Amino acid sequence: MPAPDITRSCSAILVAAGSSRRMGFDKLAVELAGVPVLRRTVEAFLAAESISEVVVVCPEERWRLLDGGDFAKPVRRVDGGENRQDSVVAGLSALSLESNFVAVHDGARPLVSPEDIDACVAEAVEYRAAALARRVTETLKRSDPLDFSTEGVSREQLWFMETPQVFEIRLLVDSYADVASRNLTVTDEVSVMEAVGVRVKLVESRHPNLKITTPADLALAEAILR
Ligand SMILES: Nc1ccn([C@@H]2O[C@H](COP(=O)(O)OP(=O)(O)OP(=O)(O)O)[C@@H](O)[C@H]2O)c(=O)n1
Ligand SMILES: C[C@](O)(CO)[C@H](O)COP(=O)(O)O
């Protein structure tokens, strides 16, 4: 077996330490077609050829959803933080640093395909930073809450952001340190890059990759899996 080319290899950080407030119960423990959400997410990354290791950022009780899995690649757990940003930083500290790239993904996105993961990693190798996203195809309007007047909003160049979001590890670590030094709060890693002026190549997802957020998402995800 040839040694892996670490210049192109990629670690994964799966953030799964949230409170599921909008769901009302632990959305990462819910089974989709018999498999817990978090386990589906881990298995998608283990199936992706570009991924060499997985760090799961989650509390101990969620780690047990993985049945102490005997996985084909290294899988480690680390505790999360107060917000998603803190959980990502905790994941960065747990990387083996045997890769040059890191894919940060929501544990609550269990339908992500290994093919989309690999496509996003390939673009990050090319551009240093890449993120999975979905083009806006619906008609958009802006509505004034005072007089209910509406106006059309062009959907050209508009995307729904998804994950994974993939970066050179050094770039992401240094960018998060910069953001922290300025006490900035960010929703995702693309926002971190915007704060430090680094462009991110958006990669159109070819498969469903919805985030499990509310009970309605569970029904939709089950329907997709049927
Ligand atoms: N402190 C946090 C907050 C969120 N997440 C993770 O980030 C992903 C996206 O967050 P979201 O879907 O908003 O999850 P929750 O924060 O749990 O949702 P809610 O806002 O409804 O509580 C999820 O996999 C969640 O577990 C995390 O690891 N650590
Ligand atoms: C990180 C994310 O999934 C893609 O950008 C999204 O921002 C998470 O949003 P939420 O507000 O935490 O649900």
| Residues 14/105, Cβ–Cβ less than 8 Å | yes
pLDDT of residue 75: 96
What ipTM goes with this model? 0.98
Whole-number Å distance, alpha carbon 152 to ligand 1 midpoint, is 32
CATH code for the domain defined by 10-225: 3.90.550.10
* Least confident segment among 5-19, 136-150, 205-219: 5-19
Q: Which ligand is nearest to the CA of 20?
A: 1
Q: What average pLDDT does this structure show over 107-125?
A: 98
Whole-number Å distance, alpha carbon 83 to ligand 1 midpoint, is 8
pLDDT in tens, 197-221: 999 999 999 999 999 999 999 999 9
Q: CA–CA distance from 82 to each of 23, 38, 95, 136, 144 (Å)?
A: 18, 19, 20, 31, 35
Closest by CA position to 184, among listed 196, 197, 170: 196
Nearest ligand 1 atom to alpha carbon 109: 24
pLDDT of residue 118: 98
pTM, whole model, 2 decimals?
A: 0.96
pLDDT of residue 1: 57
Nearest ligand 2 atom to alpha carbon 106: 3
Give the separation between CA 77 and CA 166, rounded to whole angstroms. 20
Question: Domains of the chain: which residue ranges?
Answer: 10-225
The protein residue with its alpha carbon nearest to ligand 2, atom 1, reads: 188
Residue 211, ligand 2, Cβ within 6 A: yes
pLDDT of residue 124: 98
pLDDT band at 67 (very low <50, low <70, confident <90, very high): confident
pLDDT in tens, 155-204: 999 999 999 999 999 999 999 999 999 999 999 999 999 999 999 999 99
Residue 189, ligand 2, Cβ within 6 A: no
